[in-house]
């Protein structure tokens, strides 16, 4: 990015940007990637097309800010490359619960915003397929656990559930852990990786799906047009396709409050103040981001991977379901189903 403030000094004719003398008396010289073409003839337009592809192309916000040194970036989409034609697909449920995939859950607990749970499967290439979603506002832990458990068929054999690490912080009023409370209700979880690098990991997954779509159709120009990179090479497309891809089921793309739509609508924070004196924000808006969060946890957390060593059917979970079912029947004046075997 260009340095902000300071005194502009005379520009060298071989460089794109003029140096600036800061108040600390240091002189800062911004270097454009085109300037390096003087020393390295490989750094031309084709290099820029290939290098920018992993960020979403030459029109992507990362490339425009970090490589083109643009200062204005207000409310632009974080993952503008998303496409329903590419990122929404149908994988048969029988295949998901078979030997080719391992099933997980990703959960984001909400107090003043909706709680969100995503069911996803991972295959041997590390691809993620999000096949079920759950949003709930204003529910206590017991209700959340019951409803999420009810939506998880026993045969799915969830490897484990990753969750926002904030539930492992002690509550100020009684020093308890929300994670422990979920576990007591039969919904144990493990901390997810909440690092900001996860946004890049998710973006790489979306790019991989685009690259595979183009390669399957033998249409390299499709990626070039999508990313505005006319000199993109087949080698770069192949490298993009090698990364784990991300897809959503149609169920996870219905309505504004859905995993796909929330990812597609996630925005960078708007520019505040004079862009000539204040850098555009790189953080995203903290609104309607439950879907992107659970996708990020699912994609970026180490240990979430394909495994053939699937857990046995959870007898404790099955018992809790039976107890809840019995209680509901009793409340309606109906006889119990009988004891848990």
Angle at 185 between CA 180 and CA 189, to 5 degrees: 50
Mean pLDDT of 237-243: 93
Task: Tell me how far apart the alpha carbons of residues 113 and 171 are, in angstroms, rounded to a whole number.
Answer: 18
Q: Which long-range contacts (CB under 8 A, 24 or more apart) does 15-21 make?
A: 17/69
pLDDT at position 59 is 64
pLDDT at position 72 is 42
In order of their start, the domains of the chain are: 1-35 (no CATH), 84-324 (3.30.420.280)
pLDDT at position 28 is 81
pLDDT at position 20 is 77
Q: Are 52 and 71 in contact (CB under 8 A)?
A: no
Chain-centroid distance of CA 242 in Å reads 18
- pLDDT over threshold 60, residue 84: yes
pLDDT at position 278 is 46
Q: How far is CA 145 from CA 111, 258, 301, in A?
A: 15, 20, 22
- pLDDT over threshold 90, residue 316: no
- pLDDT over threshold 90, residue 158: yes
| Range with the poorest average pLDDT among 31-45, 170-184, 272-286, 302-316 | 272-286
User: What is the phi/psi pair of residue 51, to 5°?
Assistant: -70, -35
- pLDDT over threshold 90, residue 19: no
In which order are the strands placed within the sheet that holds 190-191?
A: 190-191, 161-163, 101-108, 115-123, 128-136, 246-248
Radius of gyration of the chain (CA): 24
Residues linked to residue 128 through DSSP beta bridges, in sequence order: 122, 246
The strand pair at 101-108 and 246-248 is best described as unpaired
Q: Could you tell me the two tokens for 61?
A: 């916000």
| Range with the poorest average pLDDT among 97-106, 236-245, 247-256, 272-281 | 272-281
pLDDT at position 227 is 79
- pTM: predicted TM-score of the whole model, two decimal places: 0.71
Task: Tell me how far apart the alpha carbons of residues 5 and 13 are, in angstroms, rounded to a whole number.
Answer: 22
């Amino acid at each position: 990015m260009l340095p902000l403030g300071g005194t502009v000094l005379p520009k060298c004719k071989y460089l794109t940007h003029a140096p600036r003398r800061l108040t600390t008396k240091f002189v800062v010289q911004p270097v454009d990637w085109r300037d390096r073409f003087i020393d390295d003839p490989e750094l031309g337009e084709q290099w820029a097309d290939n290098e920018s592809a992993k960020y979403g192309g030459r029109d992507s916000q990362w490339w425009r800010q970090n490589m083109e040194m643009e200062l204005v970036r207000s409310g632009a989409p974080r993952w503008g490359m998303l496409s329903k034609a590419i990122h929404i697909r149908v994988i048969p449920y029988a295949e998901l619960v078979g030997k080719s995939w391992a099933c997980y859950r990703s959960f984001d607990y909400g107090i003043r915003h909706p709680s969100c749970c995503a069911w996803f499967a991972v295959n041997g290439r590390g691809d993620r397929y999000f096949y079920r979603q759950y949003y709930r506002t204003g529910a206590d832990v017991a209700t959340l656990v019951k409803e999420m458990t009810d939506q998880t068929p026993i045969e799915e054999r969830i490897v484990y559930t990753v969750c926002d690490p904030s539930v492992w912080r002690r509550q100020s009023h009684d020093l308890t852990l929300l994670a422990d409370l979920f576990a007591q209700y039969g919904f144990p979880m493990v901390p997810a990786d909440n690092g900001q690098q996860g946004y890049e990991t998710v973006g790489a997954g979306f790019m991989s799906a685009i690259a595979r779509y183009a390669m399957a159709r033998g249409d390299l120009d499709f990626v070039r047009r999508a990313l505005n990179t006319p000199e993109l090479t087949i080698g770069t497309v192949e490298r993009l396709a090698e990364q784990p891809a991300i897809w959503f089921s149609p169920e996870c793309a219905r309505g504004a409050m859905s995993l796909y739509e929330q990812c597609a609508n996630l925005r960078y924070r708007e520019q505040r103040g004079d862009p000539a004196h204040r850098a555009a924000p790189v953080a995203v808006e903290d609104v309607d981001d439950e879907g992107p969060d659970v996708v990020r946890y699912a994609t970026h957390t180490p240990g979430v991977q394909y495994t053939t060593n699937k857990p046995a059917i959870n007898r404790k979970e099955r018992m809790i379901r039976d107890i809840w079912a019995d209680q509901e029947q009793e409340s309606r004046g109906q006889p119990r189903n009988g004891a848990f075997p």
